[in-house]
Amino acid sequence: MPLEHLWASWRSAYVQGGSDRDASPELGESGSLFERILSSDAADSELGILVRGTTCFVLLNRFPYTSGHLMVLPNRAVADLEQLHPDEFTELWALVRDAVTALKAALGCDAINVGINLGVAAGGSQSDHLHVHCVPRWSGDANFMTVAAETRVLPVSLDEVHSRLRAVWSEG
């Protein structure tokens, strides 16, 4: 049985007459999933893109472990760290630092997990395109819902997380 997600954002999109990201934007058909997202004509807010750098970008995870779960990726699909050009490596880690700073400011989390799954055996579902996960954590955020009901409770919607992070993101 797959892990379910329970969005507990108080149905604000429904109450306001909109939808809550059920529809996926149209993506191109070539390249890795992340390259297709990056090259889409849809608005960055619809795609979940927070920041576009010169060689890397920051993307909200559409299926997060916790509210605010984001990824920092090079623009081009490379599978391993050693395949990054020096400018990509530098920008990737600068954006990871900025992401951690923004997550703390926007969401008030108690901690953040930062990690990379390199290769399928490491648990990487998109192992063709390296990405660094930044996962905000709160004391007590692991509870019975994930263990007993195989469901995650996500109290902040993707749209709200995107707005909060964009409001505090340092681009300079």
Of 5, 69, 129, 131, catalytic = 131
Say what the pLDDT of residue 64 is. 85
The answer to whether 85 is a known catalytic residue is no
Whether 16 shows a pLDDT value over 50: the answer reads no
- Quickly list DSSP for 100-139: HHHHHHHH--SEEEEE---SGGGT-TTTTS--EEEEEE-T
Express each pLDDT in 50-105 by its tens digit: 999 999 999 999 888 888 999 999 999 999 999 999 999 999 999 999 999 999 99
Q: Is 74 exposed, middle or buried, given 0-12, 13-18 or 19+ CB atoms closer than 10 A?
A: buried
pTM of the model: 0.78
Check residue 132 and give its pLDDT. Answer: 95
List of domains in the chain: 30-166 (3.30.428.10)
Mean pLDDT, rounded, for 116-136 = 87
